[in-house]
Amino acid sequence: MIGLTTYLEQTKYGVWDVRAGLLPQQYFDGVTGSGGVAVLLPPQPRVDAAAAAVLDGLDGLILTGGLDIDPERYGAERHPETNPPREDRDEWEFALLRGAEERGMPVFGICRGLQVINVAHGGTLHQHLPDALGTERYRIGRAQFATNTAVVDAGTRLAGIVGAGEIEVHSYHHQGVDGLGEGLIPTARTDDELVYAFEAPGKQYLVAVQWHPEQNSEDRRLFAALVAAASVYADSRGSRQNTHSGQEVGA
């Protein structure tokens, strides 16, 4: 059971023009095509209680792409190119991440998801990469994904999934990692030294990439790795529940 965070946006379909939770199909295709069950997680009120209840039924969490994080969360003034704040989604995803890490649940961050994890760990972001790096190559606009090359470090969990060395990826973002968050290890960079992936050391599965792997339907390796880690977590969770249940019966 893999939870995927979603947008909550004004949406037109058929005769309707309403606020709706939505996510491009490619994301949950990545999960279901890798043997998982996709559960969509729109922003909700009473975030801490809701996040706890949701996570109790999940085996893995994917923080998906979307609009910019409120820069107040990392102590920065808003750049003119930064999206207006979406406090509902920020609060929801930060609560889900906290709960998942407390449980040792596998987490996979994609684009905005990587940025959420970085900020939650005390990191900061470049709010507009054309200012910081002098290039527009990471977001060419017009709903077209750019192609960029990242170099994956050998000996990392990421390298064990996609291989070490160069990998061509799909990009659509104008922000990126500035200061790396505490306890995170960079695992891939672009040729202008932008951190393009990171992971957490230790037993918990926490992998994040700045690119959009859901756009490559022929390469499900990152989704498959998350589903595999979630299966291990589900087995361990079942073992803990069975032990607890047995203790209650014995009492």
Active site residue 173: no
Q: Is residue 250 part of a domain?
A: no
Catalytic (active site) residue 214: yes
User: What CATH number did the domain enclosing 68 receive?
Assistant: 3.40.50.880
Q: What percent of the chain has pLDDT over 90?
A: 90
d(CA 186, CA 235): 29
pLDDT at 229: 98
Q: What is the pLDDT of residue 122?
A: 98
138 with 173: CB under 8 angstroms? yes
Number of domains within the chain: 1
Residue ranges for the chain with pLDDT beneath 50: 244, 247-251
Rounded to 5°, angle at Cα 121 from 195 and 179: 40
Query: pLDDT tens for residues 116-160?
Result: 999 999 999 999 999 999 999 999 999 999 999 999 999 999 999
In a domain, 251, yes or no: no
Alpha helices in 104-207 (DSSP H): 112-120, 129-133, 157-162
Answer yes or no: is 178 within a domain: yes
Quote the pLDDT of residue 247.
45
pLDDT score recorded for residue 237: 81
On the CB side of 92, CA atoms within 13 Å amount to 22
Check residue 240 and give its pLDDT.
60
The pLDDT of residue 203 is: 87
Is residue 167 packed enough to be buried (19+ CB in 10 Å), middle (13-18) or exposed (0-12)? Answer: buried
The pLDDT of residue 242: 54
Radius of gyration of the chain (CA): 18
- At position 198, the amino acid (one-letter code) is F
Question: Which one of 101, 111, 173, 199 is the catalytic residue?
Answer: 111
- Clarify whether 212 is annotated catalytic: yes
